[in-house]
Amino acid sequence: MSAAGCSSAPEHRRPLSVLVAVYTTQGEVLLLRRARPFDFWQSVTGSLQAGESHAEAAERELREETGLQGCDLRFSGNERVFTIDPRWRHRYAPGVTENIEYEWRCALSAPRSIDLDEREHSEYCWLPFDEAIERVWSWTNREALRTLRDEL
């Protein structure tokens, strides 16, 4: 119990998230190597906080995970529903099994040095689209990169 006599239940994640594909006009994609709960490559991702819009979440996650600010950040208009991986399901309210992911894009003129949040990611790399598509773990990330590549 807290000092006020109320128990504080852990806050569950909202089943809403963003994926931010960071890319250059020369056709390179930024990938981050996730450290936990297992090792895999991904674009910038994250859950929406309470009261936060997906636009605000995209900007916040981009800044927190890479240090990037002031890029041409735009919503693609795409959203995808996916089944939450069992390794993360404990973070959500009981019975929540699906998540809506909003796809954002950050265009840069050239690759930049990235300030990683080492609590989440162990390294980063810039790869051509096709290599990045092959390397990412999630199907939503592959689909987001394929769609972006085909539109450029």
Q: What is the C-alpha separation between 13 and 69, in angstroms, rounded?
A: 25
- Ordered by where they begin, the domains of the chain are 16-151 (3.90.79.10)
Type of residue at 117: D
Q: What is the C-alpha separation between 119 and 148, in angstroms, rounded?
A: 28
Buried b (16+ CB within 10 A) or exposed e, 2-31: eeeeeeeeeeebbbbbbbbbbbbeeebbbb
pLDDT at 70: 81
pLDDT at 88: 87
CB 110 within 8 A of CB 62: no
pLDDT at 133: 98
CB 123 within 8 A of CB 114: no
pLDDT along the chain (152 residues), means of 10: 49 95 96 88 96 97 94 96 93 96 97 91 97 97 98 94
pLDDT at 10: 61
pLDDT at 1: 40
User: What secondary structure letter does DSSP report for 11?
Assistant: P
pLDDT at 66: 96
